[in-house]
Structures are given as structure tokens and as C-alpha cells.
Structure 1
Amino acid sequence: MKVLVGVSRIFVGIFFIISGLIKLNDPVGFSFKLKDYFAPDVLNLEFLAPYALIIAIFVVIYEVLLGVMLILGYAKKFTLWSLLGMIIFFTFLTFYSAYFNKVTDCGCFGDALKLTPWESFWKDIVLLILILVLFFGKHYIQPFFTKRIRSIAVFVSFIFCLFVTYQVLQHLPYVDFRPYKIGANITEGMEVPEGAPKPIFEYNWKFNVNGEEKVVTTNGDYPSVEGEFIGVETTEIQKGYEPPIHDFSMEKEGEDYTTEFLNEDKLIVVIAYSMGNTEREGYSNIKNATDAAIAKGYKVIGLSASSSEVTSTIVGAENLDFEFYFCDETTLKTIVRSNPGILELSKGTILQKLHWNDAEDLKLQ
């Protein structure tokens, strides 16, 4: 039991630290995931949506600190109860998501590692078992170092988490795990390779045969049945290949400009996924950067999920010398964790990606 508690202590502690740091690298992305859970058709907690970022920051810092505290043996009783409460809550959440197929990615490891809902649930079950082992074998958990050193270590960990949080919110994540990272080619990311698995569907055909309902199952072909056709139910039994980049487009007034713009040698893209909560103070930096780009022969456009009327208002108010095109909001949130943010592309390849705070650091040819 002593050995089991020791192994569980190190494993759970490291797991919580790594999981927390990955999400701390991108708290904005984790806040988007929390909003998915707060949606009316999931937990129906819409009143929490405006506070999603604050909740995300609290949860990930708390997660990292619990891992540190467990390994050090700091505030043992508080740490174990906190771990147990957190894992019970997240086990319920992942089971709910998996059983009702509500949120297809729990966001446990941000964009670094995607887990299906059931994978997330079983991961939490394993953690729950290990934490129960720690809980019932807590007398085997002996603290490391002196009380003073443990307190200093926890405090330093807290300050470190605050520093990382400030940096990634004022700039961009240190590590970009998304398909739109610097160096990625958007056109190539949208391609489906030859021979890639295709989705497989199961068709349940319903017929009225001599007054009785008969169901015939096929994988697509219309069955040869003598009877009156009633209807068909289609179920996807195996997902096909999905390219890492999808739902990306550059549209305006019903026209698709995606191919045209992705073939530009020198393209600057300003991304503001929602003009309703865009940070207006960022547009002075954006204007300086885009004006300099235009002067050097760059094509400059904006991408937003807001209506053309709203984007035109912002363009006029901020005296911007470029037009906005439409793109899916979720896609824009994935591209850059800044509203607004700025990208440089060449033939579809992302060369630079900047937070609006750093827009004046845009390096132009």
C-alpha cells in the first residue's frame, strides 16, 4: 500500500501539473471550451459564459498548484479533498458529455492532445481510482522538505502561474498546438490525401410489407423489397478522414475569395472573430501595422464572423484602409487567440502571427 500510494502520488501530481500547464499556455482556448459546456443544450449555465475566462484561469492555476502541493505533501488534507472534489466533478462532466454526445472534446489537454468524450471519461475514472488510493492511504503521504520550503515552493509556483497567464493573455500562447501555427500551409491543411478513409454509413430502410413494418439495413444501396417504402434512418458508424483545417473560407457578398487570397505572395490578414467584443484599443496598433504593409505592396484584408454592416462601422470609426471578409467564428477563434490579431501569409503559408499588442513588431519585406 505504501508503494502504491507513493506511485499514485507522483503520477497524479505530475499529471495535474502537465494538464494544468498545457491549458495555462492557452487559457483563452480553455475558456471557449467552458462556454461550450455552459451552452443551453449542455449544462444550461449561460449566466456563467461572461466569466468563462476568469473561471478558466482559476481552474488551471488551481490544477497546477494541487499537483505541486500533492508532490510536496503540502496541506495534505486540503489537497486531497480538493483533488477528490475536482475529479468527481470532471468525471461527471465527461460522462455527461460522452453519454449524451454534447461536447466532443473535453479540452483536458487543450489542443495538444485531443481525446474523445469516452476516452476523457475513462481517463478520469483512472484518476479517480488513484486519488481514492491516496485518500484512503493518506497516512503514507509524508511531506518533502521543511514546512517553510514547501510554502515557498507553492508560493513561487503560484507567482509563476500568474506570470505565464499575464504573458499569454497580453501576447499569444508560448506553444501553438493548433493547425494554424506559424509555418503551416492553410491550403495543404485543407487537403484530403488520396486513399484517406471515407465515412461509413448504415441505412435502416423501413417498408410496409403486407401490413407489417419491415426494416432492412444496408450500407447505402436501395434494398430490393416488395412493399411500400416508409422512410430511412441514416447512422454514421465510422468517421472518415477530416483534414486538420476545415470550415476555413474568405467570403464576401456570396463570393468565395479563398483560393485567390491564399495564392497571394504578400498577404496581411487582420482577424477579429467578433466585433461585438473586439478590443477597440488594439486598432491603433493594427492601423499602423497595416498602413505600413500597404505602403510596401502587401494585400491587406480583414476576417470576421460579424456582419458586413458591423465591420463597415468599425472600419470607418478606426479609419482602416482595408475591407473585412467573412469566415466562421469558431475557425477564427482557432487561428489566433486575440481579438483582433494579425497574420502574414505567403501562398497560404503562415509566416507571422501576432497579438494586437505586438502588431507593431510585424516584420515586413
Structure 2
Amino acid sequence: MKATSKTVNIFVELSRIIVGATFVLSGFVKAVDPMGFTYKIQDYLIELNLTEVFSLALPVALLIIVSEFLLGVLLLLGVYSKWTTRFTGLFMLFFTPLTLWIAVTNPVEDCGCFGDAFIISNWNTFYKNIVLLAGTVLLIAKWKLINTLFSLKTAPLAVLFTALFVLFFALYNIYKLPVFDFRPYRIGANIPEQMHVDPEKADIYETIFLYSKNGIQQEFTEENYPWNDSTWTYVDMKTHLVKEGEKPKIEDFSVDALYYDESSGSWNIGSDITDIILSEPSYLFLMVASSLEEMNMKHLNRFKKVSTYAIDNGWPFYLITSSGTDVVENWEKSNRSGFQFCHSDEKVLETMIRSNPGLILLKGGTVINKWDDSSVPLIGDMASVAEQTNIIAELNNTGTTGTVKLFIIALLFLIPLLLIKLGDRKMLVRKKVE
């Protein structure tokens, strides 16, 4: 019996750690980029023809983020184990069938469970949830075996702090840029390099030729098709995937110039300037406004000053948007910015920077720095921007800043919990003395 009991305890502890840590990781990486998770929810709503509830995507994203992170932390701390395990079970009962539907129908290639930090297939996501569900069922059945790190007096404080921490962390990453950027447009990344893969590692396709002879059709490959046999008649050609290889991290980056036609008095889409932007040897500013209609106008003057400064120094400055030419026309009439406009896909722009508007500094196609609208450098600070941003890009390439940020965030979360625990111990010691 003792051996059986010990085995059960081991499985309970393993389940608690695995389920809890997975929930914490999943909640944290979503909190890093809540807007990215919001866009993912909107992708599902589009597939379900529920675009009328788009406005609920962000609140739902925040609710899932807080719930997931909070449940994970409570499992690891052993706080309110009876109700924590039950709510975790409800969470898994909802998402496990959902991920099965996603795996079968494949409405979106990446479910977004771990944001852009870890991309796993929809089927692997479902298998992961099966394991988590099995562990959760064990925890629900054996919740009494879970040891808690906090007393009933301090547990509410630990719960409240955890919920507020992840909520404010997520809100910070909404109103500012995400503290960690896992996307291919992160600082230090070279965009042209992200658009290509080694041909030896790319998808391998086979070309099939269909020929006909005496009313009978036959398939041939490139090695044996009867190109010099006139008795065969060519019918069709097709290709099929033989082996799936690596995909470019950026597959859809394309920019078209917009120009004002004085003769017609309207704005039009012009030539493709993607290569011009990515090959610019000097500094180049991209003011990214995925939607001019929804753009925050509060800090527009900052962008105008940066544009003037850039032009004075011979650096290109573009406003890149997905809005239509009619919107561009009305916006420019109202604001008289004098910006050079260009057009790109909305999803591309939302991936490039999570701010509408935001500012990106490029050099030779490499992302040197990014700013949300409220952090755009003031004209007095612009003189040192080039030197500062080159250092920032180098640090981001080595991962130094990411490690430091993660360490600071961990301290900000763990130190208050440790102080709550110390207060807990002092109360216990005081009780024993009394």
C-alpha cells in the first residue's frame, strides 16, 4: 500500500508541475503579445462568419490570458487546490474539443496557443491537450494530496497579486510594444534574409507530365517523358509536393507606392517598391498605420517632425498603410502631412508592429529600432538616435536584452510572492509563540 501511495503522490506532483507550468508558459507568452492573440481570435471569427463580434476579441483574449496564467500559478503554489483543479478541468473540457475541431478542419494553420514564441501544428496542440486533460483529471481526483505554500489568510493576497500582475503586464504590452518580439520583424532581424530559405532545405516538388497515345493517357516524370516521340500527344502538366521543407519566415511582405494624380485629382496605386525599401543603404523610416481610419492621432506631430528631420538628412520616410486610396485621399486632405504614402497588406503591417501608428527604422533591410506612437523620439533626441539604435539592434541580435528583461520580470513577480510567504511564516511563528 505504501508503494502504491508513493507512486500516486509522484504522479500527482508530476501532473501538477506539468499542467501548471504549461498553463503559466502559455498564459505568459500570450500576455507578451495580447494583440497578436486578439488577431488570432479574429481569424477564427472570420472562419465562423462571426465578424460582427470582433469588438469582443480583445476582452476575451485578456480573460483567457489572465485565467490561464492564474490557474497555472495556483497549481504550482497549491493554492485552493480543490477549486483550482476543477476550474482547470473546465478549461481543458472546453479547449480540448475545440483544438480537435481546429486540427480536423484546419481553419487557421497555427492555433496561437503559445503565441509567436513556439509554433506547433494543430494536431500537436490537440495531443498536448490530451496529455494535459489526463493530468488534470488525476489532479481533480487527488486534489487533497496537493500541498499548499500559503495559508488561508495569505492565499487571497497571492491570488489577487497574480491576477493583477498578469493583467497589467498584458495591458502594458497593448499600450506599448511587446517587451519580447518573437516575430520575423523584430529588432535586429534582416527582412530580406527572412524572405528566403536555402534551396536545399525548401519544399521539393515533382513535375508530372500527362501524355496520350491511342486514346490512353499516361503519366511521366521529367526523367522519362516522351519529348522526342511524336506518337505521344501532350495533354497536361502538374506538380505535387514530394517532401515538405522549410518555409520563409516572411512570405508576404510587399509594398506598392501610392501617388497623387493631379490630372484626375485622385490617389492611385503605383509600382512595387519593396526592393527599394529593403535595399536602402542609409537609414529609412517606415511610419506603419495598418488602418488610417482607426489610427491614434494623438502623436501625429511627432511623426511629422521625424519626417522633416529624415528628409533634411537625406533619409527616406514612408507612411505605409493598408487603407484604400479614397481613405488616404480624405486623410491627407484633413492632415496635410506631406508624407510619401505606400500600401501593403493589413496582416503584414499588424505583424510588423503592434501599434497603429508605429515607427520602424530600417537600414539595408535590417530592423534597427521600433517605437509605438507615444515613444517616437522627439526632434531634440533625434540626433543620437542612429548611434543608440545600432547598439539596440546589436544587443537584440545577441539576445542580451531579452534575457535581462525576462530576469527583471521574473523578479517583479517572484519577490512580492516571496514577501507574502515570509509574512505567512511570521504569522505562523507568532501563533506558535502565543
Q: Scaled by the length of structure 2, what TM-score is found?
A: 0.75
5+ long unaligned stretches in structure 2: 1-7, 258-268, 387-434
Aligned residue for 2:430? Answer: none
Specify the code of the residue in structure 2 equivalent to 1:345: L
Counterpart CA distance in 1 for 2:67 and 2:59 is 12
2:350 to 333, 338, 345: 333
Is the alpha carbon distance of 1:202 and 1:296 closer, same or farther for their aligned partners in structure 2, counting shifts above 3 Å?
closer
Q: 2:128 corresponds to which letter in structure 1?
A: K
- Is residue 2:287 matched to residue 1:255? no
Q: Larger Rg: 1 or 2? A: 2
- Decide which of 122, 133, 140 is 1:135's aligned counterpart: 140
SS at match of 1:179: coil
Pairwise CA distance, 1:321:
2.3
**Residues 292-303 of structure 1 mapped to structure 2, 5 A cutoff:** 292-303=309-320
Partners of 1:209 and 1:8 lie apart in 2 by 67
Q: Does residue 87 of structure 2 align to residue 82 of structure 1? A: yes
Equivalent-residue separation in structure 2 for 1:203 and 1:131 (angstroms): 50
| Residue 11 (structure 2) aligned to one of 4, 15, 27 | 4
What SS does the aligned partner of 2:298 have?
A: helix
Partner of 1:18: 25
Matches within 5 A, 1:23-34: 23-34=30-41
What CA distance in whole angstroms lies between the structure 2 residues aligned with 1:143 and 1:130? 18
Given candidates 358, 363, 369, the residue that maps to 1:352 is 369
3-state SS in 1 of match to 2:113: coil
Q: Structure 1: any 5+ residue segments left out of the alignment?
A: none
Instruction: Give SS of 1:303's match.
Output: strand
Instruction: Percent identity, please.
Output: 32
CA displacement at 1:59 relative to structure 2:
0.7
State the secondary structure of the residue aligned to 2:320: strand
The separation in 2 between residues aligned to 1:143 and 1:206, in whole angstroms, is 73
Distance in 1 of aligned mates of 2:272 and 2:141: 61
Letter in 1 for 2:278: L
How many Å apart are 1:125 and its aligned residue? 1.2
**Match among 65, 72, 77 for residue 67 of structure 1:** 72
For the 8 Å contact 2:255–2:344, the answer to whether it is kept is: yes
Task: State whether residues 211 and 232 of structure 2, in contact with CA within 8 Å, keep that contact through their aligned partners in structure 1.
Answer: no
User: Which whole-Å CA distance do the structure 2 matches of 1:268 and 1:316 have between them?
Assistant: 22
Q: 1:217 to 1:173 in 2, by over 3 A?
A: farther
Shift of 1:160: 1.2
Code of the residue aligned with 1:255 in structure 2: it is S
Q: Which residue does 2:166 correspond to in 1?
A: 161
Which aligned pairs between 1:207-356 and structure 2 lie closer than 5 A? 236=241, 238-252=243-257, 253-264=269-280, 265-356=282-373
Following superposition, the deviation at residue 17 of structure 1 comes to 0.8
1:281 aligned counterpart, secondary structure: coil
TM-score, with length taken from structure 1: 0.88
Q: 1:37 aligns with which of 44, 62, 71?
A: 44
CA distance 1:135–1:234, change in 2 (3 Å): farther
1:123 is displaced (CA, Å) by 1.1
Counterpart-to-counterpart distance in 1, 2:210 and 2:293: 47
Q: Helix, strand or coil: the match of 1:147? A: coil
Q: Quick one: structure 1 residues 164 and 71, their matched pair in 2 at CA, closer, same or farther if it must change by over 3 Å? A: same
Residue 254 of structure 1 deviates from its aligned partner by: 3.9
* Native 8 Å contact 1:308 1:324 kept in 2: no
1:280 maps to amino acid: M
Cα distance, 1:263 vs structure 2: 2.3
Q: Does the C-alpha gap of structure 1 residues 55 and 202 become closer, same or farther in structure 2, counting only changes over 3 Å?
A: farther
1-structure distance, mates of 2:212, 2:72: 59
2:161 partner letter: V
| Larger helix share, 1 or 2 | 2
Q: How many residues align?
A: 360
- Checking the alignment, whether the CA contact within 8 Å between 1:284 and 1:318 is kept in structure 2 is no
Residue of structure 2 equivalent to 1:104: 109
What's the CA shift for 1:208? 11
- Offset of residue 356 of structure 1: 0.6
Q: Tell me the CA shift for residue 204 of structure 1.
A: 10
What corresponds to 1:57 in structure 2? Answer: 62
1:323 Cα shift? 1.9
Distance 1:238 1:101, change over 3 A: farther
Question: CA deviation digits over 1:172-218, x for unaligned, max 9?
Answer: 0001111111111112222332423334358697989979xx8x677
- The alpha-carbon deviation at position 141 of structure 1 amounts to 2.0
CA change 1:346–1:232 in 2 (3 A) is closer
Residues 208/128 of structure 1: CA separation in 2 closer, same or farther (3 Å cut):
farther
**Could you list the per-position Cα deviations for residues 156-185 of structure 1 after superposition, in whole angstroms to 9, with x for gaps in the alignment?**
112211221232112100011111111111
Q: Distance in 1 between matches of 2:224 and 2:343?
A: 40
Q: Deviations over 1:270-310 (max 9, x none)?
A: 01112232223342332233333333332100111112221
Contact 2:42-2:54 within 8 A present in 1 as well: yes
Equivalent position amino acid for 1:308 in 2: T
